Chain A
Amino acid sequence: MTTTELTAPPGVRKEERRRRGRTGAGRQMHAGPVTYVVLTVFALVSLAPLVWTAIAASRTDGRLAQSPPPLWFGGNLFKNLESAWDEAGLGTAMVNSVVVAGTITVSTVLFSTLAGFAFAKLRFRFSNLLLLLTIGTMMIPPQLAVVPLYLWMSDLGWSNQLQTVILPSLVTAFGTFFMRQYLVQALPTELIEAARVDGASSLRIVWHVVFPAARPAMAVLGLLTFVFAWNDFLWPIIALNQQNPTVQVALNSLGTGYVPDQAVIMAGALLGTLPLLVAFLLFGKQIVGGIMQGAIKG
């Protein structure tokens, strides 16, 4: 159903946009005070659990079991962060997650751009069929892959090694689809034709024409992929254990441990989320733009 929407002739949307521009503010009415109040409530609900995580991480386990719960910071933050980093293995986990999510991001962006370009601008046999296959399988739950993956990785003797979680995530159907949607509109066909006439090989065209045109979308896809890979849960907790964890695996062992120290658990949750919060602080605008862009088109 989304595909029909997606492939609406590009001109239509531009036309709409122009009309909106002509009519000035259009739908954009100025927000009244009530709007700001309600938005502030939404914002508080969004942020409060994160702020409270930091508060809880600065207290002791004993204090967290008492009522009323602490509403302000205590003095144990660094001690708890240290315990989480060393004893709970968050330190190793952070390094592992950077390696895993970094590799997955580079590979997804690269291969998605190549495949997306081919689907958007090149003509080849079965291209429509292959694209349909890609879209159709975008929504299959990961549960349908984990049993065979587990058996294969055991056969290879790879259990608990990072490649077990890297390999299956090196490309996503979403990535290819996302890049295709972007390049259909953003890459002028004449540009490729001109390069061809000048005798450029396909690889040169990819390097000098496609990559520069695709750069904004590649950046957004990279951010989205990194968030996704960093937070991936099901397969990593099956494939890895506490000996060699990613952040999510370490958090899982923290949460299901038999002697839980809630303050240390909160410190772990804070550490594991911090890199993405920093990324949102720096690139929030791009991430928001990417999600909204993906929404109109998909």
Chain B
Amino acid sequence: MRMGGIRVPHRKNTDRCQSVRLEVPKTVTIPMSMHIGKYARVVVKKGDTVKVGQLIGEADGFVSANIHSSVSGTVRKIDEIMTSNGAKVSCVVIDSDGKQEKYENIVPPKISDFDSFVKAVKESGVVGLGGAGFPSFVKLNVHDLNKVDAVIINAAECEPYITSDTRTMVEKGGYVFKGIELLRKYMGVSRFIIGTENNKREALEAMKRLADKTEGVEIHVLPSVYPQGGEKVLIYNTIRRLIPRGGLPLDVGVIVVNVTTLAFIAEYIETGMPLVEKCLTVDGSAVKEPKNVIAPIGMSIADLAEAAGGLKCEPAKILYGGPMMGITVPSMDEPVLKNTNAVIFMDKKEAAPPKITACISCGACAAHCPFRLDPRSIARAYKLEDGAALEKLAVDLCMECGCCSYVCPAHRPLVQTNKLGKQMLKKYLSAKQAQKENDLKERSVRERQEKEAKK
């Protein structure tokens, strides 16, 4: 059995570009939501002096993340910005003094057991750096550690353009393996699998060299087929386990962690410096020289473009992340986020949307779906507002990788319909549930009335 997928152009122009640290911008704008979950609570006020690594936003609620200042300087204001999905979120705007002074209280965390390890990960503010932005401590805080028999380290980096994970493996390979040792020690896992694509030769060699010296680390070199780095795809292609519908990797005894996230956790535990900067790829047809940079979180996209060498032309579209699943940046004032692994600047030609034509029923969408869904039928069911059909077609399995939209010769917006279909299915299921409960209630009322009537 094979999972579907597509061959996309790699465009890994930057895989040999050593990452360079950018100069600190004059101001940074740090939003309180750079993760999945509840927004963090601002803990500084206008006029406060902050230093690099100082807490400015505190995790609020169970799924949330700490946020730290990426510069030293003064808080200019607490503002509100619009995120890419249109929601308003408060942000801390800091004027940098250019000194980049380290916060005094930064010391390596003391770790003695699993709980203190998870606490340290929480305090570092780290979220899934592969792009998902899910708070890492929530993922690692497994209640029953016996259930986990393998950790898969996601180093597939299957999106075109992006090479920041590749550079992590080359430049910070040591930390990746220190991270492995941490998980081994505190989570009791003995089997580690590094899943990567075969187009990363340099990174692969670095990983192999280190793996030879470490016990229980397997390296799986997978074909460069998008979406190899999709969590469920990676689990299936490395250890042949299929996650049940609606389930999590933990249901099959696996934790998947991004390679850069793991390296960061190890680095944090050694230095105590929280997540304040990010290695990211700057590329795309509008960029003068593609490169990998280390940028402070909160740096504006405009500053980033400038500091990374400038643009060839006015960009028509800018992306957080890669071209397959990336999110469009609404304006050049938007900041670099924790989970930004690339910023792609596209010129007019690259950004031009293709013309949508009639479906010719070629079946390419279904043939390439990793989960063997049928986007053509899903689109039809969505149009007919047929919730039952959507449930049968398992639209909820769709991970929105975009293979269907990519391969469609009629360029139909299939993944977009899938997303809408998922929402429609949710509504349908909750309505169905409510109906069921209502029926039960009515029945019990009727039965009671009948009983009373008999009396």
Q: Do A and B bind each other?
A: no
Give chain A's interface residues, CB within 8 Å of chain B.
Answer: none
Give chain B's interface residues, CB within 8 Å of chain A.
Answer: none
